[in-house]
Structure 1
């Protein structure tokens, strides 16, 4: 057992939390020690330090990572995040969570993740392009359409993916659209990809509400984070009749107990760079927003937002994790004791990787689907995944997070056993 497992739960970093979650499920599944050890450790880790010439003529050295956790079920798949607090343990955790996430929705990928320690908001467009292209060249020995397929994450977007695809293609000598997903539609991206994660969040929320005999229409929703995930989720919740009463971004949040006009708020955010100050609303902080009275709370920002210090103050009936790892293990226990349903990240936000898989398939075949076809297929995948996780929860008498891990880890363990150990 790694020494990290001795750390108390609330002091754990993301990777230690991921290891603890795996350990909990290993006991339920009765994994043998060898298989457990294989799943604890990433398959490959790459750390790179690379120079970028800045606009002022100076050279700055950046640190980047690419981690492949497990490839037993297929090529590695996972996003790239550009964030000043990214470190190797965070990337290891995110790669492990991607392994389980792909297995939970039963798509033929393993888990990977990448990151660069930087603040993209402080880089010019040219500096961001140079950083992306140099980082791509540094990790090009790992990535490829048959080996490891990156995607957008925190601090990256479709433009960054386009630069990555172009850089890889220049090295290959021909266009390789399938090396990355989350691209603009004009260069092989999929219809429906931008909203996919947020739409998946709403789909599983609707399933869970229906299972509890409640409707989405009229439900009070709070969303922390107003980026690709939170913004799309808020907009789709609103379009389906829910009352979105509060949202926030990195500069602050807004609250109106009677509901926010989300289309107008989206336009305001685009024009002003933030939701903060939206007319007809009360200001709230990113910590305060988590404690507002609501039916559904969607933490869609960063990790470790719900902890033992605030879990007792959560006033939602249901927490749906749009972000990766927003709830600590200690907070999990508190929410469970208080009877608050939690739909875990590895299920709730798996819509993004599912449509990334659809994009990869379309690129490989050079045959593309309409947005309605993509959304229909996504609905089938998310519905089936929720039903399988819900069934596992009942079978093992566990919460939905543990049940999701039971489903995902069991599939990866089975694949690893079937393949055996080379040589």
Structure 2
């Protein structure tokens, strides 16, 4: 690849599928990036409309995430666009089921939870076409969101990265942008291991307290449909003020391109750990690297959920999943940052090299691939 941020090349996407079903207001885009290592696992995003280019970038991230974690899967994404003229939650189940039915014969795509979807959504899909992971416990799932699979992995990526930053997790000040399931579990694991979460942002605003926030209280507020700024403690700021907060570790856990060339200079952290896919714009990522701020790439740091989902397919239990997440993410974070320290390379470049090796080897066995495994 000539540009590590360009998701359209000889490796994919393999297929781009547009799905329409006017009777239920279904408009969806499914992107299967690469299946050289096995069927693609892709998150179902039920959010504001994203472009096909955005989807290709997210699907490629899933391909790299799977390959880096030694999983027998490729990557993809499914984007369920808003129903025209309907409330966001109107007939959601009908639209999800219609999408699953439309992909009943597409055996190279497996649905997984993502923004706006969870265990119940995956249960609907399983009922329609049998290909979903991240299922409720009653259907053989491991309850990945409840055990905090992604957050567990992010904690371990952070702990390894801190060795390259020159400070420890104990009393480190953390800001988390996004407080959904991933943000909540990441905060919980970090606080349990000595960190102090001083700032949290969601769509309603940013809450800041220099001595630390009460994570349990904020989780309870979110469970009732509230915003972190509904808390009785802390300073209330605008949603985009999280980037300005003084901290040691900054964790983007919601949305793409939340750090761009326009706001990267405002970031005060020494370490950025990507909890959300594509949360750093390419130019911003390069800028932070040049400023000496370590960035652990998304598909290295946040692979816990995917690792758990892939293992769920094969009947693994909670203990096996958490152990595998810890081992794989610590190993990969170490490899990437060791390469950065030795060669001065961009963390994402080192991470892409790591992930592409098994993909290239698998594709080299295909007829007319033009690729060499050497």
1:285 aligns with 2:285: no
- Verify: 1:66 aligned to 2:19, yes or no: no
More helix by share: 1
Per-residue CA shift, 1:242-272, capped at 9, x if unaligned?
1000111112121111100111111122234
1:401 to 328, 348, 356: 348
Q: Could you report, residue by residue, the CA deviation over 1:56-90 in whole angstroms, capped at 9, with x for unpaired residues?
A: xxxxx331011111111111111110112223222
Could you tell me which of 107, 114, 137 is aligned with 1:185? 137
Q: Give the 3 Å change call, closer, same or farther, for CA 373–422 of structure 1 in structure 2.
A: closer
Match of 1:4 in 2: none
1:216-295 superposed matches below 5 A: 216-295=169-248
CA contact (8 A) 2:104 2:128 kept: no
What secondary structure, in the 3-state scheme, does the structure 2 residue paired with 1:49 have? strand
2:368 pairs with 1:421: yes
Segments of 5+ residues of structure 2 without an aligned counterpart are none
TM-score w.r.t. structure 1 length?
Answer: 0.82
TM-score w.r.t. the length of structure 2 is 0.92
Query: Does residue 1:158 correspond to 2:111, yes or no?
Result: no
Residues 349 and 341 of structure 1: is their aligned pair in 2 closer, same or farther, counting only changes over 3 Å? same
- The gaps in structure 1 that reach 5 residues or longer are 2-18, 25-35, 54-60, 169-175, 363-367
Q: Which residue of 2 is the match for residue 305 of structure 1?
A: 258
1:21 equivalenced with 2:32 (yes/no) = no
The superposition leaves residues 156-200 of structure 1 with CA deviations (integer Å, 9 ceiling, x where unpaired) of 1111111010111xxxxxxx4xx2111111111125454111211
Structure 1 counterpart of 2:288: 335
- Aligned counterparts, 1:53-132, within 5 A: 53=24, 61-118=25-82, 122-124=87-89, 127-132=91-96
2:83 and 2:185 mapped to 1: Cα distance?
23
Q: Show the counterpart of 1:382.
A: 329
Q: What do you get for the CA RMSD once the two structures are aligned?
A: 2.3
Give the structure 2 partner of residue 38 of structure 1. Answer: 10
Deviations along 1:173-232, whole A, 9 cap, x unmatched?
A: xxx4xx211111111112545411121111100111134442111110000000121111
Change (3 A) 1:37 1:298: closer
User: Does the 8 Å CA contact 2:296/2:333 hold for their aligned counterparts?
Assistant: no
Check whether the contact 2:134–2:144 (CA below 8 A) recurs between aligned residues: no
CA distance in 1, matches of 2:320, 2:72: 20
8 Å Cα contact 1:87/1:117 also seen in 2:
no
Give the match's secondary structure for 1:77. Answer: strand
Distance 1:381 1:89 in 2: 29
